[in-house]
Structure 1
Amino acid sequence: MIRGHRGRDVGRSRRDGVEDALRGCARGGRGLATAGLTGIHLDCGGDVFVRCARWQGGGRFVTVRGVRRIAGLVCGALLGFAVPQSAWAEAPAAHPVETVAGVGAVFYPSAGGVVPRVGGPHFCSAGVVASASRDVIVTAAHCVLGTGALIEFAPLLHDDQLPAGVWAVTSMYVDPAWQRSFDPRHDVAFLRISPRDGKHIGDVVPGLPVGEPRAGDPVTVSGYPLGSGGEPLTCTAPLELTADGSAMHCSGFGDGTSGGPWVQNGRIVGVIGGPEQGGCEPDVEYSTPFGPDVEALLARAEAAGPGDVLPIGFTANRC
């Protein structure tokens, strides 16, 4: 069977499966307009991606899709029903830039800035939050572990340059649902940063406030690919709301970009993470939903009470 958006069973035979997949997409998901289907593309590189591009008004196309791994023979038969690829808007590609305001790379284990300064590898991304204490950053919960000891943050890293220095994490805060079961709807962590040389990280690298996402509006997502030095990747595309959080279609992100902030209308409205640690498909990214739970978590971090001890979540919710 081909499964439609959000795993709905949409067909049993080859022909009926495609037709039902199209109808399933046209019925659509949360936050999408009710305009009809305008295109489908079946990509048979092992997985079949049923893509539906629909007009949402204001000059925006929004795409939803279902995925189902099927045999090459069946795929060949299905292609007879596909509309040419030009019928739907291609996802934009993430591209490197020298820096992204407020965004940096996360290092572990590291102390005293040693690993970033010798060109050691970084493994996740994070963004500075505009907060009263000026001491808070946000990342994905699956990126961090323990109490925060030996985790360091290098904002504005590019190539082998550390223009804003290296900052140590002192405590971390996650939702109890992540602690209990690695709930992907709570894959977000706020980290408190130790002041350095009498300054707070927010004094050196201004952050952005946290907000809630808006479907259809453009969102800019940025993060550092896994590795040493390098530059962040960034991409802007319409934000979609799904049953499990936020989504956007953009190709080129990969390992290491987890925790990278989603910025929309001047606010951080998500981080790469959540379902499938941010997405298993090559051109889709996910985020934990940002809303009242995330605001409450930020308030707890701002209060600077005892932090949480995080379980190892590096493999939680992976593809």
Structure 2
Amino acid sequence: MGVSDQRPAFTDADARAADALIALALDEDLGPDGDDLTSRLLVPADATGGCDVKSRARGVLAGLPIVERILPAVAERTGNAPLELLPIARDGDALHPGSIVASLFGPVRDLLTAERTILNFLTHLSGVATLTRRFVEAVEGTNAVVLDTRKTHPGYRRLEKYAVRCGGGANHRMGLHDACLVKDNHLAAWRERTGERGDLGALVRRVKGELPAEALLIVEVDRHDQFAAVLPAEPDVILLDNLPPEALKQAVAERDAAGSNVKLEASGGVNLDTVRAIAESGVDRISVGALTHSAVALDLGFDWHDAGPPTLP
């Protein structure tokens, strides 16, 4: 599947997550007294100026809606009117060295106060979007969808998952609350506590009977005998953990021969060198923890100028 032209939605829940992190970021920078000491000592209070947020590398943009929320948060701390913002690019856009993301204008003190907070969000989330886009392009032409995981940074889950969408990927479950994913440790704990040694199929059927209607049931397997036991019980997804492409192909063939609608997901050992072969096995989904836990920040910076307020070209 290729990269979609549809822009990802920045939801109300994403906005609430952003606001909480923005408040923490400004608290860290400005301290209990709300003071940008260097700017206060070196920059006249009435000085105004502007800057362009510019890319210095190739990548994919994510995070502009957060910048829009940083500006009033900074203004609330400084007592000034919010900085003026002119977005030039959109989240999901491909960036090149020299691409202008947005222009900002207002009190120079506020620009300096906001600079690092703005760049911290933009560079990290654009890094997630950029890495995701590389995985999505690597599986183009196959049926596989690239998904994130719960391997996110504390507090950043919604924003990192938004960035994955900006890169053309899709979201796995948001947390433990919205899907049931039965992993090997769950099985071990269940068997230890209950003393049951029944097959996985029986367990899946029992869980299906108690699961909320809106929640997905995903079952992890790492051996063929487990897969053969789970498939007839028809969870929503069978997660094939750390299986080589030939074993993945066999699972796809058996699923198709059974006429089952169960989705097959590959996970474990997925990187840019292996993802194409995994996708060509015919699996429906590929989950990649690296999208969020190993993304390198995209190089963005402020280019300063003395121009007046930004205007549309």
| TM-score between both structures, scaled by the size of structure 2 | 0.24
Select the structure that is richer in strand: 1
Select the structure that is richer in helix: 2
Structure ranking higher on relative contact order (CA contacts 8 Å, 6+ apart) = 2
Structure with higher Rg: it is: 2
| TM-score between both structures, scaled by the size of structure 1 | 0.24
